[in-house]
Amino acid sequence: MSHAVVLYLPIGRKTFDLEAGETYRKQSMKWLEESGHTIVAPNEILTSVEELEQFLQIKASSEIDTILYQSVTFADGEFMVKTLEYFREPVIVWSVREPSVGGRLRLNSLTGGNSTSNVLRNHRHPFTFAFGNPDEEKLQTELNQKFDVMRVLKSLNQLKMGVVGDYPPGFFFSDANEDELKDALGVTLHKMDLHEAFNKCVELPEEEWIGEIDRAEQQVIGLNREDETVKKFAQFSTYVKKQIVEENIKSIAMRCWPDFFNELGAAPCSVLSQFTEDGMVSSCESDIHGSVSMYILQELTRGGAPYLGDLVHVNEEKNSVVFWHCGAGAYSLAHPSTGATAGVHPNRKMGLAMDFGLKAGEVTIFRVSHTPDGYRLLVMKGEALDVEQPFTGTSVEVALTTDVTSTLYELMNSGYEPHFALVYGDVTKQLIELGRLLQLNTDVFI
């Protein structure tokens, strides 16, 4: 996963203490260059709208994720208005601390940030605010989180999702209105014919698909190369991958039952597992918003493999819930004591599916949710427990940070969809900020 591309604009007026301001600019630039992000920046504080425009004209063709507008000193709203003539990306407004208290107000950076934020709000332009000096660890962490959110926001607007087949009967929550999805999140959909894939994948020559089995063998324990369902897994994966490459698809929502079992004669779970493990997040039951949720979690964790599961069990004594699905889970999520174990679908008794409990660790639970009133986000936090595999298939027991009973009732009474995305690590702050920038209601259980 790439780092963010940041347009850094240090803005100040000559009527303030530019010497102190330049010290801040140099410190800021030093940290930005060491942060690993790609920085597009001038070599000095821009002290007039004319200087700013000259710089913006030179950089107008730059592909950026966010504008970091540092109010080095107070400056009026003309600077921001001019910037928006050249770039439409979201803005981080950054104010620094006054270098000294008593006597002259040397920078008045905070008022500058206040003024700029007001301009952005009145232009209905997405922005966020940060306060602190460039050498403060808390500020550095905050900015890095904001850079990641802005990068994900940009990538969502470029996300093309492959929808392989329609949702199963009655799984209405898996569907999406294409125009509404595009307007709210920037995501576009590309429909793919599942039955055509079944028919054509079995015609592929062995040399094309055998590599998928070789790949699976690297991580799947107990894989039987000679099993017919393993062969079908490899053939189908190979065929779909060709379309993924041709169409520049970044995530998948795939219909799985009953078609895979009835027409292909194999479980779909292994396809989803290997795709997600290799960075192509894939949801089952053609859950479009589930795939978007997984994609966002993967991007915010810079490549962490997400999981998608039903909430199937509650344990009040441990304040925990179990998330489960039939047999799809990225290989690297398996508990290290077992590894990613090959199995069969728990209901259909057909391979190839995964059969393991997930590893322990801190997790973020997330859902891009849709209601008749529009989109909303769900953000939760918990600890995946080091326990025996709760159910056959793939599953994980998570101790929540909030009371399990009240949380359960709130989720059900709010009518959330039964698929929950999960990723290892804590990206709750980033998700809440993403919801704010998208202007979506966000339910938080942390």
- H helices present in 256-341, as ranges: 259, 269-277, 288-300
| Mean pLDDT to the nearest integer, 408-415 | 98
Q: Which residue has the higher pLDDT, 256 or 206?
A: 206
Q: Which pLDDT band, with edges at 50, 70 and 90, does 266 fall under?
A: confident
pTM: 0.95
Q: How far is CA 145 from CA 35, 140, 402, 418, 426, in A?
A: 12, 9, 24, 29, 11
| Mean pLDDT to the nearest integer, 266-273 | 92
Report residue 228 as tokens.
């017919």
Name residue 287's amino acid: D
Q: What is the pLDDT of residue 199?
A: 93
| pLDDT for 26 beyond 70 | yes
| Mean pLDDT to the nearest integer, 359-365 | 98
| Mean pLDDT to the nearest integer, 337-342 | 96
Q: How far apart are CA 46 and CA 53, in angstroms?
A: 9
| pLDDT for 366 beyond 60 | yes
> Are 330 and 305 within 8 A, CB to CB?
yes
Angle of helix 206-217 relative to helix 228-247, nearest 10 degrees, comes to 100
% the chain with pLDDT above 90: 90
Q: Which pLDDT band, with edges at 50, 70 and 90, does 104 fall under?
A: confident
Q: What is the pLDDT of residue 347?
A: 81
Q: Which pLDDT band, with edges at 50, 70 and 90, does 345 fall under?
A: confident
Q: How far apart are CA 437 and CA 36, in angstroms?
A: 24
% the chain with pLDDT above 70: 100
Q: What is the pLDDT of residue 2?
A: 66
Q: What is the pLDDT of residue 1?
A: 45
Rounded mean pLDDT of the chain? 95
> Are 149 and 430 within 8 A, CB to CB?
yes
| pLDDT for 294 beyond 90 | yes
| pLDDT for 197 beyond 90 | yes
> Are 73 and 25 within 8 A, CB to CB?
no
Q: What is the pLDDT of residues 376-408, one digit of tens each?
A: 999 999 999 999 999 999 999 999 999 999 999
Q: What is the pLDDT of residue 262?
A: 81
| pLDDT for 157 beyond 70 | yes
